[in-house]
Chain A
């Protein structure tokens, strides 16, 4: 469904992605793990058209989207939940969610989706009239994910959803990610530092180091892979 073919992205003279090739199938949860500065976020930004690649192609549903503008990519159903949440601090929870559905016109469906995200995160329903900025970190992350869902994504890109959250909340967020995938068949591309949780959640995993994919396998296999265990899972 979504394919990176030899994608190289540069920041000035620094090459951040080196001939990246990866593939995501419809309905899958695919995770990309790696250390700080490995190029995980750059991969997402390249996909979203924020930092266009210098070479290579990105194919989505047999269509070359390598040089599409960000808003066009969003229109095609690839929705990013940016790192560090980026919710609208002065808008209410409800207004934040409405903006998620900015590109949609089907009022009834939007209403249904609103009920759906409130059922996923009942906390948000309680706080629907509260300003986004007054929510706690965990609630903000829930809001950011919900806002992404309001756009009815075909592919949901999650950039470090567990960043700065308490362990119990991390667990809850990953459970919900699985639930979203199961209930709606939404394809999810999950970029994470928390390799353990990410691999437990995903079907397939890629391991990235200094701009290159060094390992690609099913999530189960990666969880038992010695290299992964020693480098990312803290095992001996």
Chain B
């Protein structure tokens, strides 16, 4: 019997990995090994680095190829472990004896979180929750509507600046600014959507990206109104019936506001999926011609998805402004849009638990691993590549809900 690709040791794979390691050492030779001291005109040869690269390249490539081979072998074969786990999960979920205490424990932990951890942790969790809302909002546009949107941060900015400007010029309270922020983002979504949604695919992505940048540049340069690159500072944190909460109280309040908002967002998104407009969007995403033949107004459906998704960014923006007490145009650059997009794609497009997980991984891991801040983009890129190869549907892929219409009397 010839050795299976599944076997851990495989001569062919080893050869490929050796070639890879050699190639990698050649490519990185000039920057990793040679170090020129221009003052003394000497060259330092760092052979240690070369050894490191060869070893890393060899192991990395070997593991990568091994994983790829395993994935190929596994294709079609059912995954025993996965099935057992998901079966167990389903049974636990449907068992009220387990479900209720677990649910209660989760609620308790969420409610008590600010009192059992530090202010710093609460603050980070609040940020993560803001990104959950952003992810769920963008998911309405991408996951439900199938529209690639690369300028989502602009709508986040609309929300944040709504509160910042309204406070600065009219001393408007957080609670009034919150719905207004959503409303303005919604209107801005309509305004941008009408010309932009005539485009498809790549073109849509480019134009949304451009719109995002346009807004950021306007905010940056319209100094007299927006404060330019300095932004607007000393925005008050959320108020609570006029009671002075001190810093700790305000941070806790912001946290609870975000928890509530996440819950509301999840409910709304789930309702939306099952609604008429949700069905229309799903049909449109699968086949536009057929959807049109069913009498679905394509333009209207796309606009609805676009504007509704934008609205959530607006809400999240208002809370963000209140949380950080300062807004600057730099907080709403392309990178921000890309991060939210990554949350959606990494977590699993269209999957609510996936997006929750995605947002937590992104914001919390990034925050606690500040030590590696230098390598953040490197790790980020590597993780995305690995994800796209091995789990293209995201961490928790969307499960298509099946429904049945029972015959009457049956």
Contact present for A86 and B293 (CB under 8 Å): yes
Q: Which of B293, B295, B297, B300 contacts A81 (CB 8 A)?
A: B293
Q: Which residues of B contact A75 (CB under 8 A)?
A: 295
Q: Which residues of A contact B404 (CB under 8 A)?
A: 94, 129
Residue of A whose beta carbon sits closest to that of B295: A74
Q: Which of B283, B300, B408 contacts A88 (CB 8 A)?
A: B283
Known pairs A71-B296, A71-B300. 11 more at Cβ < 8 A? A48-B293, A79-B293, A86-B290, A87-B287, A87-B290, A90-B286, A90-B400, A94-B404, A98-B279, A99-B283, A102-B296
Chain A at the B interface: mostly helix, strand, loop or mixed? mixed
A90-B400, A91-B286, A92-B402 in contact; A103/B295 too (CB < 8 A)? yes
Chain B at the A interface: mostly helix, strand, loop or mixed? helix
Residue of A whose beta carbon sits closest to that of B276: A102
Residue of B whose beta carbon sits closest to that of A91: B286
B289 at the binding interface (Cβ < 8 Å)? yes
B52 at the binding interface (Cβ < 8 Å)? no
Contact present for A99 and B279 (CB under 8 Å): yes
CA distance A100 to B296 in the complex (A): 10
Contact present for A88 and B402 (CB under 8 Å): no
- Can you list 29 pairs linking A and B with CB atoms under 8 Å apart? A48-B293, A69-B297, A70-B292, A71-B296, A71-B300, A74-B292, A74-B293, A74-B295, A75-B295, A79-B293, A79-B295, A82-B290, A86-B287, A86-B289, A87-B290, A89-B287, A90-B400, A91-B282, A91-B283, A99-B283, A99-B291, A99-B294, A102-B280, A102-B294, A103-B295, A111-B408, A147-B294, A148-B293, A151-B295
B112 at the binding interface (Cβ < 8 Å)? no
Which residues of chain B from 258 to 303 have a CB within 8 Å of any chain A CB?
276, 279-280, 282-283, 286-287, 289-298, 300
Instruction: Mark B390-410 against chain A: 1 for CB-CB distance below 8 A, else 0.
Output: 000000000010111100100
CA distance A1 to B402 in the complex (A): 41
Q: Which residues of B contact A82 (CB under 8 A)?
A: 289-290, 293
Q: Which residues of A contact B291 (CB under 8 A)?
A: 99
- Enumerate chain B interface residues (CB-CB to A < 8 A): 276, 279-280, 282-283, 286-287, 289-298, 300, 400, 402-405, 408
A-B residue pair count with CB separations less than 8 angstroms? 70
A215 at the binding interface (Cβ < 8 Å)? no
CA distance A87 to B292 in the complex (A): 12
Q: Which residues of A contact B280 (CB under 8 A)?
A: 102
A216 at the binding interface (Cβ < 8 Å)? no
Q: Which residues of B contact A92 (CB under 8 A)?
A: 402
CA distance A151 to B290 in the complex (A): 13
Contact present for A151 and B292 (CB under 8 Å): no
Q: Which of B283, B292, B403 contacts A71 (CB 8 A)?
A: B292
